[in-house]
Amino acid sequence: MKSGKEAAIIAILLAGAVFACTAGIASAHFTMIIPSDSDDTIWAVTPEDYIAELGQTKTVYILWGHPYEHISFDMASVPEVSVRKPDGTVEQLTTEKISVDSMDEDGNPGTFTAYKASFTVDQRGDSIICVRYEDKDQKLVDYVKAIIHCGEEQWIGWDAELGEKAEIVPFTRPYGLEQGFVFTGKALYDASALKDADVEVEKYHPQAEGVTVVGEAEDMFPYDPPMMFTRVTKTDAGGEFAYTLDEPGIWFVGAYGPEVEGLTQRSVFIVPVLAAFPAEEEAVAPAGLEELKARVKVLEEESRSKQAHNAEGSPGFGMIPAIIGLLIVLYLVIKRRRQ
């Protein structure tokens, strides 16, 4: 029979083994749809990249990894890509296999297998990029949607239900959103509400920013850093969910469906979020404020000079009302500025 000390040591070793096995398991894998003008600018994606002009050829990159940490993996199969146009027609897109530079799960730079596809934006309104990607290693099938918007006030098609095996249908228009807005939608599986399902929410970070925020999370929350990477909510009985997207950037929202032949079926919706609008104006001092400050300083120096040359110590008293008056004016100006 082992002593209490020996049992404690074994428990510590077992805990360490569990930690070693789970270390490196962080945020969820997501299939990412990123529009870009070239292979070199993929990772500099912004919400504006999901906007297009009529007649523009739009290229979208399909990548596999952890958006929050900026970790990439090789895609294990060829994704199926299509675009649903504003008038409801669907065009199947041809994919091209490419290599992209990124970072692996150990933080090392590397080159990873990805795909890209292009289409012409020939209608005003909302084109929906649809991607189906299967990864048997992760036991997951992703059905991903991203909106490419074209045309002023042409808000047509963003809420279309496509009849995918797993699908998120947004209630909130997924563009023109600013940080702090609530994104709402409904998760479906086989066209029926996906009730009581986990919905993971994760924001994309460029590589340098991803390394920084992950480090901060590990320092501040050593007991469970990944809880800050991947946020989780649930669908209700009607398959509906809501989540506040509190930072600008590209967000990934994924609802987990049932397991079919050993592969979990998941629907993913990509939501670009803008910075706060209107932007806060930089504080500017009111006209004349600096002149008032300078005048008060001059009067104070004059007062101190006269007091120093007066034996009674009282001359300079006549300057005090002037100083007080200017201070009052200064106070009123600052108060008005803050209102």
3-state SS assignment for residue 270: strand
For residue 255, the SS3 value is: strand
pLDDT tens digits, one per residue of 203-242 = 999 999 999 999 999 999 999 999 999 999 999 999 999 9
Alpha-carbon span 213 to 57, nearest angstrom: 35
Continuous segment of H or E residues that includes residue 72:
strand 71-73
Mean pLDDT of 246-274: 97
User: Of 181-195, 226-240, 281-295, 312-326, where does mean pLDDT reach its minimum?
Assistant: 312-326
Residue ranges of domains in the chain: 27-273, 289-338
The predicted pLDDT at position 284 comes to: 56
pLDDT reported for residue 6: 47
Kindly give the interhelix angle for 319-338 and 289-308, rounded to the nearest 10 degrees: 160
Cis peptide bond prior to 248, omega within 30° of 0: no
Q: What is the mean pLDDT of residues 152-159?
A: 97
If one counts every other C-beta atom within 10 angstroms of the C-beta of residue 281, the result is 6
Give, in words, the CATH class of 27-273. Answer: mainly beta
Q: Is the pLDDT of residue 286 over 90?
A: no
Cα separation, 309 vs 197, in Å, equals 84
**287: pLDDT strictly greater than 90:** no
Q: Is 187 helix (H, G, I), strand (E, B) or coil?
A: strand
pTM: 0.77
Spatial contact of 230 and 28, defined as CB atoms under 8 Å apart: yes
pLDDT tens per residue across span 86-112: 999 999 999 999 999 999 999 999 999
Provide the mean pLDDT of the chain: 86
Asked if residue 67 lies in contact with residue 250, where contact means CB atoms within 8 angstroms, the answer is yes
12 has a pLDDT exceeding 60: no
Under the banding of pLDDT at 50, 70 and 90, the label for residue 10 is very low
- Cα 250 from Cα 43, distance rounded (Å): 11
Per DSSP, which regions of the chain are E strands? 30-35, 51-52, 57-66, 71-73, 80-84, 90-93, 96-103, 109-120, 125-135, 140-150, 166-170, 181-189, 192-193, 198-203, 231-234, 240-245, 249-260, 263-273
Read off the amino acid at residue 328.
I
Q: When comparing pLDDT for 339 and 110, which is higher?
A: 110
* pLDDT confidence bin for 28, thresholds 50/70/90: confident
Q: CB 307: neighbour CB atoms within 10 A?
A: 15
pLDDT at 22: 33
